[in-house]
Amino acid sequence: MKAARKIDEKKRIAWLLEQLEATYGDATCELTHKNPFELLVATILSAQCTDKRVNMVTPVLFGRFPGPAELAVAKPREIEAIIRTTGFFRNKTKSVIGASRVIMEDFNGKVPRTMDELLTLPGVARKTANVVLGTAFGMNEGIVVDTHVRRLSNRLGLTRQDDPVKIEQELITKIPREQWTSFAHRLIWHGRRVCVAQKPRCEECPLAQHCPSAGAAS
């Protein structure tokens, strides 16, 4: 494959965004949820786990504990039995119960709608808060940096950082704010479908023309 043709960086990024929109215009969060609280819990469970696996356990979890009121008083053993297959189930159980308690005690049973408030919930860091704010509330407060966004933003030459916080800080200076949420969704879909971790399918990649990593060894 030929090397990516050099163009102005702002034009290159604009082109990448256009291609992502054209290819993944309907991209959204693939964690099944009915409300902000379910999305919050599902995102906590998704750490080091696939969305597919999380979507297999959340119907059982929410069928038995439909909201923060029920989860706040749940016995850890019962939660652990349901979410065991998502990995790190003991820590995740503590986070889910802890977050539910704070929501009940400090936020009148409602998932908070600000970054600062969300970060007070056990088990919630910027990635989870960005997922909830962007997907559940339609607020562009940051860019979700998961394993796919981390990998692809480097491959696409959008950053050379490795730390998720630093990656986000750099991305928000380059991506228009109104696209922060959609950009992350589209990049995640691209990472799952084409630019996979071990053997990226560069020959079928719509971004290859202006990707500095196109055709290079993974």
Domain boundaries, the chain: 9-27+143-210, 36-136
Note the pLDDT of residue 215: 83
Q: Where are the alpha helices (DSSP H) in 107-158?
A: 115-118, 126-131, 147-155
Phi and psi at residue 207, to the nearest 5°: -100, -5
Note the pLDDT of residue 218: 45
- Other beta carbons within 10 angstroms of residue 151's beta carbon come to 17
Note the pLDDT of residue 5: 54
- Taking the C-alpha atoms of residue 155 and residue 173, their distance in angstroms, rounded to an integer, is 18
Residue 163 known to be catalytic: no
Angle between helices 89-106 and 76-83 (to 10 degrees): 130
Q: Which of 127, 162, 163, 199 is catalytic?
A: 127
Judge contact between 217 and 162, C-beta under 8 A: no
- Taking phi first (over 0 means left), then psi (-120 to 50 degrees means alpha), and beta for anything else, what does residue 123 get? left
Please give the CATH topology (third level) of the domain spanning 36-136: Endonuclease III; domain 1 (1.10.340)
| Structural domain 9-27+143-210, CATH architecture | Orthogonal Bundle (1.10)
Residue 92 known to be catalytic: no
Tell me the pTM.
0.93
| Per-residue pLDDT of the chain in tens (218 residues, 90 and over written 9) | 444 456 799 999 999 999 999 999 999 999 999 999 999 999 999 999 999 999 999 999 999 999 999 999 999 999 999 999 999 999 999 999 999 999 999 999 999 999 999 999 999 999 999 999 999 999 999 999 999 999 999 999 999 999 999 999 999 999 999 999 999 999 999 999 999 999 999 999 999 999 999 987 54
Decide whether 9-27+143-210 matches 36-136 in CATH topology. no
Q: Which of 6, 34, 52, 146 is catalytic?
A: 146
Residues 6+ away with beta carbon under 8 Å from 168: 126, 130, 142, 143, 145
Dump strand ranges (E) for 106-216. none
